Structure 1
Amino acid sequence: MNLNDKTEALAKCNAICKNTLMETMDIKFIDIGENFLTASMPVTSKVHQPDGVLHGGASVALAESVGSAASFMFLDAKKFFVRGIEISANHVKSISEGMVYAKATFLHKGRTTQLWEIRITNEADKLISIVKLTTIALPKK
């Protein structure tokens, strides 16, 4: 993927989300760089738990979406497909409205496995959740 054209790269990320969980949750890819991908998600009743705050599972789905998409963007998608193999999250702050931003950054970029740190923050850049995701790149047959 040519990351020199951010607009094209982000359009590709957002295009693969049609008719998926990411579209249902209104996840949008908004920034990309040499070693990161960032997505946004509105915090609305669609992603709330019953008491009106962001559901931890929605945070994890956001994190896995951005981490997996980042792996897809930074690997040769013609030769490999990406799957998440482990994810862990710590939720440190509640949020009931506004936007959250998930930034996936490489901790390890191996030929087969990739380790991502995904920081989920609010509009004031306060940490909401910190997530670690391991992905695997498997050859296409």
Structure 2
Amino acid sequence: MTDSTQTPQASGAEHTIGAPANPQIVVTELSPTRVTGHVDLGPEHHTPYGTVHGGVYCTIVESLGSMAGGNAVAERGQYSVGVHNATDFIRPFDRGRVLVAAEAIQQGRTQQLWLISITAEESGKLLARGHLRLHNVDLPQTS
């Protein structure tokens, strides 16, 4: 019996590796300590093996966390930039809506730490979660 499914590496076939499409985050709640929303994921976000690429989850963590952090410090004339993104991939997912939530863990004068969770809407199962550390930066002065 032979296995008719071969990975690109095993088959010797040429293949390309590139970044999947950027996920479009729809924000439904925005406060200085919490941001929520959803993202619809599908084949344009897949690896060659048919599951959502881990880079998509990292992008969601970075994008949602940066939005949350920037919103938290905007009133004091600052914005925030990511300095460390640690994203854990919990289980594979192929398509559907995911719920995303960013919650502040620590918000200081110079840095913030946010926890971002990505959950399958249909099953309620956690797919990925990340911690994003942000550095708060003064907005440039305009003349």
TM-score by length of 2: 0.77
Which residue number corresponds to residue 81 of structure 1? 79
Identity %: 25
Cα distance in 1, alignment partners of residues 108 and 24 from structure 2: 30
* Preserved CA contact (<8 Å) 2:23 2:41: no
Q: How many residues are matched?
A: 119
Counterpart amino acid of 2:106?
H
- Taking the TM superposition and a 5 Å limit, the aligned residue runs for 1:97-112 are 97-112=95-110
Cα distance in 2, alignment partners of residues 29 and 103 from structure 1: 9
Q: Which runs of 5+ in 1 are unaligned?
A: 1-22
- Taking the TM superposition and a 5 Å limit, the aligned residue runs for 1:31-70 are 31-33=29-31, 35-70=33-68
Which residue number corresponds to residue 96 of structure 1? 94
Counterpart amino acid of 1:130?
R
- Which of structures 1 and 2 has the bigger CA Rg? 2
* Preserved CA contact (<8 Å) 1:25 1:46: no
Residues 109, 78 of structure 1: alpha-carbon distance in 2 compared, 3 angstrom cutoff: closer
Higher helix share: 1
TM-score by length of 1: 0.78
SS in 2 for 1:51: coil
Q: Which runs of 5+ in 2 are unaligned?
A: 1-20
